[in-house]
Amino acid sequence: MQRAVEAQLDLLAPVLEPLGEAFAAEGHELALVGGPVRDALLGRPVTDLDLTTSARPEQTEAILKRERGPIWDMGRAFGTIGTRRGEWTIEITTYRSEIYDPSSRKPEVDFGDSLPGDLGRRDFTINAMAVSLPSREIVDPYGGVVDLAQRVIRTPGAPESSFSDDPLRMMRAARFAAQLGFTVAPEVIAAMTAMAARIEIISAERVRDELVKLILAPYPRLGLTLLVETGLADHVLPELPALKLESDEHHRHKDVYEHSLTVLEQAIAQESRLGGPDFVSRFAALMHDVGKPRTRRFVDGGVVTFHNHDVVGAKLTRKRMQALKFSNDEIAAVSRLVELHLRFHGYGEGQWTDSAVRRYVRDADDLLERLHILTRADCTTRNARKAARLAATYDELESRIARLSEEESLASLRPDLDGNQIMEILGLAPGREVGEAYAFLMERRLDHGPSTPEEAEAALRTWWAERQAR
């Protein structure tokens, strides 16, 4: 670990050493702190430069001005002054000692006077380490190096005190488990379980941001399982634990909760099709069956049905994402994928007409690649023959889509005549009738494929005459 730190610090020396020397010359301490130290110890690339200092904000600002770098002070109220050195954005924060109001996560900021005291207020021991500058001495008063080596997440002090101060740290524990593949210490899990309801005082936006980071992490199952087992998910994503449907010896069915986590992992395995981690694809995979608890019915013979769970699930997904303050575009994309996730199962053994294939592409629109991923990921059967048959059938559907796309430009599916041509042919002004004519031509395009302008005009005139005669 020491060698890993030295290697990273050698790379950062042109940036950090001059700053360390400048602060030392003024009688102030300066240290690299938190995530950058953790990542350096793990041998991971350092992407952020967070520094802490004994200097007060005005003293930090004065030193940076002498160093002739850009300065911004939007975080001055929290003791933070920002600067930039080459490609690096640097934030330098005065040692802090925070006091929390139990009814709010916003601290009353008070400046501290020691590095160990500043480290003690941080969320986890693996983030409560520092490297003094310019000496490069590792400062680790809470055993973060040992916890890194043992791959454990624990708090510097009592977890109950830490989570009482800032309940969002419970979400962060799950997020770090998902990002690093670490286990969470038993006392931390116990505190999360006992205090889960305190997450309610955190803003939806902050919860959303942690959830997104968790979902996009390398091991999201670890974090999601922790949220469910501690009861945090009951407050931030209740649709997930609700998938643990009760079963009995007479009504057996697939474990929808475990199935959904497996679908998420199988969707992640296909992300090369999208160029990398994609929240919309992952969250749709996680949420695709959330409509099942609402639609579960038992019928004769011990059969369980979930009719319309795709439509119900889309509505539940939209409602949850709205509560978490996601953007309208994200809400529309994820809920649409949930709504469409069963569409392929009407394909049978490939009996769809070309018209049905065109409608599949039209309905998916710019979500088509994600729908391919979700549909393939949704096969979790242990029956190898059935899995192979489903995969081959979807291969056939994708081949048909590719063929029709090449022949008909499905990616930009439009009627054979545009709105201006419709108005000219029918002698119409802009209005509802033009929209109806456009819709007729679109349906015709989906049913029959592309036509020549002459064929489209003839069909349009016939449709219009029949419409006028009604």
Residue among 189, 195, 191, 193 nearest 177 (CA): 189
Which fold does the domain 238-413 belong to in CATH? Answer: Hypothetical protein af1432 (1.10.3210)
pTM of the model: 0.85
99: three-class secondary structure by DSSP: strand
DSSP string, 235-280: HH-TTTGGGS---BTTB----HHHHHHHHHHHHHTTGGGTTS--HH
User: How are the residues of the chain apportioned to helix, strand and coil, as percentages rounded to the nearest 5?
Assistant: 60, 10, 30
d(CA 460, CA 421): 11
d(CA 153, CA 399): 47
Measured CA angle at 397 (ends 391, 403), to 5 deg: 135
Phi, psi for residue 139 in degrees, rounded to 5:
-110, 115
Architecture of domain 2-147: 2-Layer Sandwich (3.30)
Contact criterion met (CB below 8 Å) for 130 and 115: yes
Ranges of residues in the chain with a pLDDT under 70 are 98-109, 246-254, 411-412
d(CA 121, CA 157): 9
Which token pair is 103? Answer: 């009814």
Q: What are 110's strand-pairing partners?
A: 97
217: three-class secondary structure by DSSP: coil
Predicted pLDDT at 86 = 82
Contact criterion met (CB below 8 Å) for 380 and 391: no
Q: Is the dihedral of CA 397, 399, 404, 406 positive or negative?
A: positive
Contact criterion met (CB below 8 Å) for 463 and 415: no
Predicted pLDDT at 249 = 41
Contact criterion met (CB below 8 Å) for 98 and 79: no
Predicted pLDDT at 469 = 84
Asked whether the domain spanning 238-413 has the same topology as the one spanning 2-147, the reply is: no
Architecture of domain 151-236: Orthogonal Bundle (1.10)
Predicted pLDDT at 141 = 95
Predicted pLDDT at 460 = 92
Residue boundaries of the structural domains of the chain: 2-147, 151-236, 238-413, 414-469
Q: Map tokens 């019915």 to a residue.
A: 297
In the chain, the amino acid numbered 66 is: R
Contact criterion met (CB below 8 Å) for 331 and 321: yes
